[in-house]
Chain A
Amino acid sequence: MESNDLVNQIRARFDHESQKRILREKYEAAMLFAHEGGMWRAGPELQITLIACQEDEVVLKDLYENPVKVRVSDLLQLSQQRWQEQMNAWLSEYENLLQRR
């Protein structure tokens, strides 16, 4: 590393806005999961759809718009678990970010 780069690096300030967006992109990717050969995004939209299902075995379109037969209770549990885990991790990183000034 050249001395100019080193000086610039020492002077550099943490960019909160970009870091917030990076966190959002990171956790939006972490919400995705595969189940029964389909790709799903954990979150309220999927969970409300699943809660609205009358039967325990239904066919839903995954993110690639392919029909996938799923057991509602299994997919709901996976979605809720992943959503809560990742939202908690997001919150934890976000709170650490707010403390950095």
Chain B
Amino acid sequence: MTSGVLIFAFDNADIDYVGMAAWSAGNIRRHLDLPVALVTDREPPSGVFDRVIVIPAGSNAHDRWFDDFNKCVTWHNTDRCDALALTPWEYTIMLDADYVVASDTLLSLISAKPCLACHSRTIDIARPHTGDILPVFGRYNFPQWWATVVAFDHSSYSQAVFAMWRMVRDNWQHYRDLYGIADTLFRNDIALSIALCAANGHAIPNVSIPWTLKSIMPQDQLQRLGPDSYRLDFIDKKQRNRYVELTATDFHAMNKKSLGEMIVTKR
């Protein structure tokens, strides 16, 4: 059975997602020794990715406010539900371009191969005592899973989840009304959460990756100290400047500006 990583990356005027994916591909090979496929809208530099899948990005863009850029940025994020159809691998770990692989933790998913797995718990690295980030969504406090890391095979459950995910995308207003979702912007995390339960007979599925997703919030500053060592500067609740260090720990860098600058300058 072939196994590999799949990354979706569509550049915009402010964020070089393909550059992030290229940097991530190097980390993935170093820690996981897995091939990396990229889904994008234009040919990237050759030799960086094992497979490149080019799809048009024209129809899937919308504007979203990014705190770290302090403005609206064009965002292409609605094609993730096509991952099962697009992936060249029999077992796939789909990662956000801004997910930083700094350890071999994800290998346990490749070894165990749960038919579908994603994170249900995510914490803010700088403020871990504040509890999980967005554990629920909508008026009815429906449990939320995260689309940042999704491991999947081609089983009937995975096919049902991705088909349902696509249906939620294509009928976003209907599902907003149904679940009482205030956000007008389509969100993969919510669509995936709805799909996971619907495909499981409207019952809570046991698909959670059994460790927390560690996230860096948009307002915090990331700096690279070494190959797998990072410093995170943040302001705590008493408005004091604080920092922590991350060594050999995977994390989701929601501060794309800081991550992008770090990759470009290789600080």
A interface list, Cβ under 8 A from B: 1, 5, 8-9, 11-15, 17-19, 21-22, 25-26, 28-30, 32-35, 37-39, 41, 62-65, 93
Contacts and interface: CB of A to CB of B under 8 A. Distances in A.
Nearest to A9: B233
A25 B211 contact: yes
A8 B233 contact: yes
B93 to A, nearest CB: 14
Interface in B207-237: 207, 210-212, 214, 221, 223, 233, 236
Which of B128, B212, B233, B248 has the most chain A CB atoms inside 10 A of its CB? B128
A37 B113 contact: yes
Interface in B99-139: 103, 105, 108-114, 117, 123, 125-129
Q: Which 4 pairs between the two chains have the least Cβ-Cβ distance?
A: A34-B111, A29-B211, A34-B112, A12-B241
Nearest to B248: A26
Contacts of B248: 26
Contact of B123 (A14, A17, A25, A38): A25
Given A12-B233, A22-B249, A64-B114, A33 B108 contact: yes
Contact of A18 (B105, B117, B127): B127
Chain B binding surface, main DSSP class: mixed
Contact of A9 (B114, B123, B210, B221): B221
A29 B242 CA distance: 25
B108 A25 contact: no
Nearest to A33: B108
Contact of A65 (B206, B243, B261): B206
Which of A21, A22, A30, A63 has the most chain B CB atoms inside 10 A of its CB? A22
Interface of B: 103, 105, 108-114, 117, 123, 125-129, 206-207, 210-212, 214, 221, 223, 233, 236, 240-249, 261
Contacts of A34: 108-112
27 contacts: A1-B261, A5-B221, A9-B243, A12-B241, A12-B242, A14-B242, A14-B244, A15-B236, A15-B243, A17-B129, A18-B128, A21-B123, A22-B246, A25-B128, A25-B211, A26-B248, A26-B249, A29-B211, A32-B211, A33-B108, A33-B111, A34-B110, A34-B111, A35-B111, A39-B114, A62-B112, A64-B206
A39 B112 contact: yes
Contacts of B245: 19
Contacts of B126: 15, 18
Given A18-B126, A18-B127, A22-B249, A41 B210 contact: yes
Contacts of A32: 105, 108, 210-211
B244 A39 contact: no
A44 to B, nearest CB: 16
A72 B102 CA distance: 32
B128 A21 contact: yes
A34 B207 CA distance: 15
A29 B105 contact: yes
B242 A15 contact: yes
Given A5-B233, A12-B233, A15-B126, 18 more contacts: A1-B261, A9-B221, A12-B243, A15-B242, A15-B244, A18-B129, A21-B123, A21-B129, A22-B214, A26-B249, A28-B211, A34-B110, A37-B112, A41-B210, A62-B112, A64-B112, A64-B117, A64-B206
